[in-house]
Amino acid sequence: MRIDIITALPDLLKSPFETSMLKKSIDLKLVDLHIHNLRDFSKDNYKTIDDNQFGGGAGMVMMIEPIDKCINKLKNERHYDEIIYLSPDGEKLNQKISNKLSLLKNIIVLCGHYKGVDQRVRDYLITKEISIGDYVLTGGELAAAVLCDSIIRLIPGVLSNETSALTDSFQDDLLAPPIYTRPRDYNGWKVPDVLLSGDFPKIEKLEKQGANTPYDDLVTWFFNESKFEILNGVSEKEYQKKLLSIEPLNKLLKEYHPEALKEDIYFLNEFVLWGLVQFKKLSKVEYSEGIEIQDPYGDYIKNI
Ligand SMILES: C[S@@+](CC[C@H](N)C(=O)[O-])C[C@H]1O[C@@H](n2cnc3c(N)ncnc32)[C@H](O)[C@@H]1O
């Protein structure tokens, strides 16, 4: 994916892309990032990119000409799928928008400054306006970093375990379950007993030994089930009921977490299912109406 960011303050964007996953995405050539200093497109020696407002309002406005020149230069070189302006009154960023944007090939991200850009930029040059929340930042650079981070981590190969992005909060409209690590007790703040009462067998270890896994019945259940759907907006109660209807999942829980409290069962059910998706023993297919969990080959084998 190619991302071109247009900014009056390129230095502000340096560090987010010089560390962690964003740097890795660039090093691995999964992302081709270009930061353009808007002042390079100014027509005067002072590198002016802003001017007073017509009508005399307070605050400077970013002029259309340098922005148009920069966007035009890029558009002459390749096709862009979206030209995004970051603005507090744009469409509020959410996981669905990031998912969609992560599938695009080339995008331009324009960072505003001062009072914002001349309205004609928004009317004639931009294809999408995104806000990162109902508050006002000094400029669009930090918003651009937020937007790019949320997109880039979804590109396959950026996270070492791709599917870990799929089990994050907001994917499937569900929040990620709570997670814990050592120590078990920190100053009296304890890890819930249910997580200490026994681990589920590690599927990758069993597979290495060529052994059957206790998850085989569960995977077969999904193979036999013609459709196991979880629709968007389903109430938590209905969702829990649906999970409880999976007989081999109940059996697993009884075997490995016999002491589990009623309120923990839901969490453990999800833990097992998402774990199997992560190890590609089950597949999770997303539709506009919700998700479907299937055996890894879907209906393919049944239809042969
Ligand atoms: C000081 S703000 C301009 C605010 C504008 N006058 C208004 O009242 O909506 C300068 C720039 O910061 C960026 N910005 C500020 N808040 C933002 C937000 N919540 N989401 C995305 N971009 C934002 C935009 O690019 C904007 O042009």
Identify the residue whose tokens are 């914002």.
Answer: 116
pLDDT confidence of residue 238: 87
Min mean pLDDT across 6-15, 16-25, 189-198, 241-250 is at 189-198
Asked if residue 144 has its Cβ within 6 Å of ligand 1, the reply is no
Element (H, E) at 216: helix 216-224
Using the predicted structure, report yes or no on whether residue 177 has a pLDDT greater than 80.
no
Give the C-alpha separation, 257 to 60, whole Å.
63
Q: Which residue has the CA at smallest separation from atom 15 of ligand 1?
A: 137
Q: Which residue has the CA at smallest separation from atom 17 of ligand 1?
A: 88
Tens of pLDDT, residues 37-95: 999 999 999 999 999 999 988 999 999 999 999 999 999 999 999 999 999 999 999 99
Q: Which residue has the CA at smallest separation from atom 1 of ligand 1?
A: 138
| Cα(69) to centroid(ligand 1), Å | 22
Q: Which residue has the CA at smallest separation from atom 6 of ligand 1?
A: 115
Q: What is the mean pLDDT of residues 11-30?
A: 93
Q: Which atom of ligand 1 is nearest to the CA of 93?
A: 20
Asked if residue 131 has its Cβ within 6 Å of ligand 1, the reply is yes
Please give the residue that has the higher pLDDT: either 104 or 206.
104
Asked if residue 135 has its Cβ within 6 Å of ligand 1, the reply is yes
Q: Enumerate domains of the chain plus CATH numbers.
A: 2-152 (3.40.1280.10), 175-210 (1.10.1270.20), 216-302 (no CATH)
